[in-house]
């Protein structure tokens, strides 16, 4: 292109820009383009407020684009151009809606430009020169603007999510402090029926990773389903820990939770579970119990992947002083601790015997062994302990229960 051709094109573009930004021409452009968009994006067409945002965005962008045609391209989104992207994000619509808008706009703008240059005068620059210039600038503008608006969309979505998460987090903390009294309002905010039975869980992993919270959330959902609950409330407390609550209209059976052990082991995760309790108070107390069971797990010699508070409640009451607890266990059942498989069977039999009220028949039934086998193992336990099994039986059961869950304590200086 010669210098004269460039000057001729520059003059034509200057005049075109002035004409394109006149009010009547501007409104015609908005009508043509937005009608095309609305016909292809029903999410926009069905919402009057979104239509207004679309009109404002189209109008402001075309006015700015046309006015800048005589200069070198530089994207400057005008005020109001990003409002449509923000509105789509606020309504929870997918990014694909915004992309559909710009695909439809792309075709509509090119059709408009083609029609606007249909009847060029002989004194005007060649049609192909004008079209190449306008199409190139329009494509640059739309590519750059959609990239900027995608960032706007995600920034708005993130701000909304963070705001909602912050409100939920503050409400959960208030529930745990016991400062919330309106169960109905809190239930609506959390989308969680606080007047139902509550079960608190604490899930944790050995280390925080990119997908740790995602994996813990999946396990929390499995736990909720296992007791017949809907989606749980999730409250991340660190990169590798997740507190959650499940709600059921009737007191839930926690036994099915044992089915999670394989998945927990596969994920390298652990879970502690509080006892079911009703209402706002239950939300707090079940969590407190899950926390207590977790502390017991964290201080144990042998980690266990799943522990229920109702299985270790007495241990939790005495377990805050780990050194004292270890010495207690060694003192009570030290003679029954060792690598011998027979000692493991003796401990298991004695624990069942004590937990069934010293019932030989019930013990044999639960262990699927003959009653004489039970008698032999208990006699051997009594011999090793050097005292009757009925002496300090509550202490004995507590020590056996600790060993059953967490293994023998590590030897420590007494």
DSSP 224-283: HHHTT--SPEEEEEETTEEEEEEEESSPPP-GGGGGGHHHHHHHT-EEEEPPPEEHHHHH
Note whether 26 and 59 are within 8 A (CB): yes
Report the alpha-carbon distance of residue 16 to residue 68 in Å, rounded.
11
Angle at CA of residue 354, ends 353 and 359, nearest 5°: 50
Considering the entire predicted model, what is its pTM? 0.60
Candidate CATH numbers 3.90.245.10, 1.10.10.2840, 1.20.1440.230, 1.25.40.90; the one for domain 328-406: 1.10.10.2840
Candidates 2.60.40, 1.10.3470, 3.90.25, 1.10.490; correct CATH number of 3-160? 1.10.490
Burial of 147 (0-12, 13-18, 19+ CB in 10 A): exposed
Pick among 3.90.230.10, 3.30.70.100, 3.30.910.20, 3.30.540.10: CATH of 191-319: 3.30.70.100
What tokens does 111 get? 């059709």
Distance CA(170)–CA(166), nearest Å, equals 6
pLDDT confidence bin for 299, thresholds 50/70/90:
confident
pLDDT band at 315 (very low <50, low <70, confident <90, very high): confident
pLDDT for 68 equals 86
pLDDT at 201: 97
What number is the average pLDDT over the span 86-107?
A: 91
Query: Would the pLDDT of 7 be above 80?
Result: yes
pLDDT at 232: 97
Residue 412 has pLDDT above 90, yes or no: no
Reported as a single tens digit per residue, the pLDDT across 207-240 is 878 889 999 999 999 999 999 999 999 998 878 8
Q: Do domains 191-319 and 328-406 have the same CATH topology?
A: no
DSSP collapsed to 3 states, 55-68? HHHHHHHHHHHHHC
The stretch 72-85 carries a mean pLDDT of 81
Q: Is the pLDDT of residue 78 over 90?
A: no
Residue-wise over 374-406: b if at least 16 C-beta within 10 A, else e?
A: beebbebbbebbeeebeeeeeebbbbbbbbbbb
Using the predicted structure, report yes or no on whether residue 322 has a pLDDT greater than 70: no
Q: Which residue has the tokens 């086998």?
A: 373
Res. 279: pLDDT tops 90? yes
Domain-wise residue ranges, the chain: 3-160, 191-319, 328-406
Please write the tens of the pLDDT for every residue from 350-370: 999 999 999 999 999 999 999
**Of the candidate ranges 184-198, 321-335, 360-374, the one whose mean pLDDT is the lowest:** 321-335
pLDDT at res. 350? 95
Percent of the chain beyond pLDDT 90?
Answer: 55
Q: Indicate if the alpha-carbon torsion angle 312, 318, 323, 324 is positive or negative.
A: negative
The Cα–Cα gap between 245 and 202 comes to 9
pLDDT at res. 414: 36
**Residue 202 clears pLDDT 70, i.e. is over it:** yes
Tokens 């079940």: give the residue.
286
Least confident of 1-5, 39-43, 237-241: 1-5
Q: Cα separation of 168 and 163, whole Å?
A: 9
The residue among 130, 110, 113, 116 whose CA lies nearest residue 6 is 130
């Amino acid at each position: 292109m010669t210098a004269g051709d460039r000057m001729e094109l520059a003059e034509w573009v200057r005049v075109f820009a002035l004409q394109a930004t006149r009010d009547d021409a501007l409104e015609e452009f908005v009508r043509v383009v937005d009608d095309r968009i609305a016909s292809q994006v029903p999410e926009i067409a069905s919402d009057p407020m979104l239509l207004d945002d679309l009109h404002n965005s189209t109008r402001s962008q075309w006015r700015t684009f046309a006015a800048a045609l005589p200069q070198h391209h530089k994207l400057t989104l005008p005020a109001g151009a990003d409002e449509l992207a923000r509105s789509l994000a606020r309504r929870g619509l997918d990014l694909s809606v915004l992309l559909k808008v710009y695909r439809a706009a792309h075709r509509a703008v090119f059709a408009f430009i083609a029609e606007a240059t249909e009847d060029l005068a002989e004194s005007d620059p060649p049609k192909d020169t004008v079209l190449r210039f306008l199409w190139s600038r329009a494509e640059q503008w739309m590519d750059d603007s959609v990239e900027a608006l995608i960032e706007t969309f995600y920034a708005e979505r993130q701000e909304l999510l963070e705001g909602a998460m912050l409100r939920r987090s503050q409400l959960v903390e208030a529930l745990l402090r016991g400062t919330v009294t309106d169960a109905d309002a809190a239930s609506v905010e959390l989308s969680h029926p606080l007047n139902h039975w509550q079960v608190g869980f604490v899930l944790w992993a050995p280390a925080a990773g990119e997908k740790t919270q995602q994996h813990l959330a999946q396990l929390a959902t499995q736990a909720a389903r296992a007791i017949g609950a809907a989606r749980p409330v999730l409250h991340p407390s660190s990169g590798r820990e997740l507190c959650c609550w499940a709600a059921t209209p009737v007191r839930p059976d926690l036994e099915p939770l044992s089915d999670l052990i394989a998945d927990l082991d596969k994920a390298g995760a652990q879970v502690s579970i509080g006892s079911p309790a009703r209402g706002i108070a239950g939300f707090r107390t079940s969590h407190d119990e899950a926390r207590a069971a977790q502390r017991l797990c964290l201080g144990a010699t042998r980690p266990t992947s799943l522990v229920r508070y109702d299985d270790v409640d007495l241990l939790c009451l005495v377990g805050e002083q780990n050194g004292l607890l270890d010495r207690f266990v060694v003192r009570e059942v030290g003679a029954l601790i060792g690598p011998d498989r027979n000692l493991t069977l003796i401990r298991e039999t004695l624990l069942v015997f004590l937990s069934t009220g010293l019932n030989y028949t019930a013990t044999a039934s639960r262990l699927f062994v003959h009653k004489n086998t039970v008698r032999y193992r208990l006699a051997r336990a009594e011999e090793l302990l050097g005292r009757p099994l009925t002496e300090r039986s509550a202490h004995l059961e507590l020590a056996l229960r600790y060993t059953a869950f967490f293994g023998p304590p590590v030897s420590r200086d007494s």
